[in-house]
Amino acid sequence: MPNFLVETKIEHKISGVILGVVVLLAGIVIYSGWRLSVSRLDNLVSKEQPSDKGDEAKQMMVAEIIKSGDIGQCVKVQGLFINGIDYEAVCRSNIARNQAVKNLDPASCDQIDNALFSKDECKFGVTLSKALQTSDVSLCATLSEAERPKCQLGYWSEQAVAKNDIKLCANVAEASDQTKCQDQYYVKRLMVEPFAVDCGKLSETMRFYCQNYQTVMRSGKNCDDVSEIRLQAACRDYRAKK
């Protein structure tokens, strides 16, 4: 594990439910959840005290090139390997990722080193963002077979919430994904209006969370008693406004 990691952060927004994807390109650490929106490179993250000041300076130089956005400058660190990590690839992959996000250009994802981060995941995030901004779900068809259904689910979930029309979930191809879309819609409603949702309309798993949430909200119990983390946060927000 290198002393400094170049961090790129992607977040996806689907129906008000949070999904964070944090990619430490030099360490390849990824965690994910439900919401998809994309943001640019944040900063250089220090995980421990550097043992080699020379390596630290080189890593800082890579970070500065990434900030410049000039992918041609990555050649300056050609052949730079620190702890087995190819920092030219880190440089190119970060800049390509940032350009893809900034320009809503999935083709830029092709310049990413797949060993650092999935090109398909990059294309998925950028394509979904573009589809939502242009209201064009047909863009999802340009993705790989594996990513296409997730893009369509994300699109129609967001549209159902934005237009307050759960019937839009019927546009999702798979029945199981239609259920997920409907759950996202109702969870969003719950977060805004705790008692406006009939929990019986949710899937079995989400029905439990819905009932638990409404019980806590009615009883005045501590929000820590809410089992689902998003609804727990919604509980605190709702009471803070009262």
Tokens of 105: 């250009």
Confidence of residue 52 (pLDDT cuts 50, 70, 90): low
Eight-class DSSP state of 118: -
CA distance 241 to 10: 30
Interaxial angle between packed helices 229-240 and 175-192, expressed in degrees from 0 to 180 and rounded to the nearest 10? 20
Q: What pLDDT, on the 0 to 100 scale, is given for residue 8? A: 38
Burial annotation 198-209 (CB, 10 A radius, 16+ → b, else e): ebeebeeebbeb
Strand, helix or coil at 44? strand
CA distance 112 to 11: 18
Task: Round the average pLDDT of the chain to a whole number and report it.
Answer: 80
CA distance 140 to 150: 9
pLDDT per position as a tens digit, 30-48 = 222 223 323 333 333 233 3
What percent of the chain clears pLDDT 90, i.e. is strictly above it?
A: 69
Tally of CB atoms within 10 A around 46: 12
Phi, psi values for residue 138, rounded to 5°: -60, -20
| Half-sphere exposure (Cβ direction) of 79: Cα atoms closer than 13 Å | 1
pLDDT per position as a tens digit, 113-165 = 998 888 999 999 999 999 999 999 999 999 999 999 999 999 999 999 999 99
Task: Show me where the domains of the chain are located.
Answer: 4-117, 193-242
In the chain, the amino acid numbered 17 is V
Asked which of 4-18, 113-127, 130-144, 168-182 is least confident by mean pLDDT, the reply is: 4-18
Q: What pLDDT, on the 0 to 100 scale, is given for residue 82? A: 86
Q: What is the pLDDT averaged over residues 189-207? A: 94
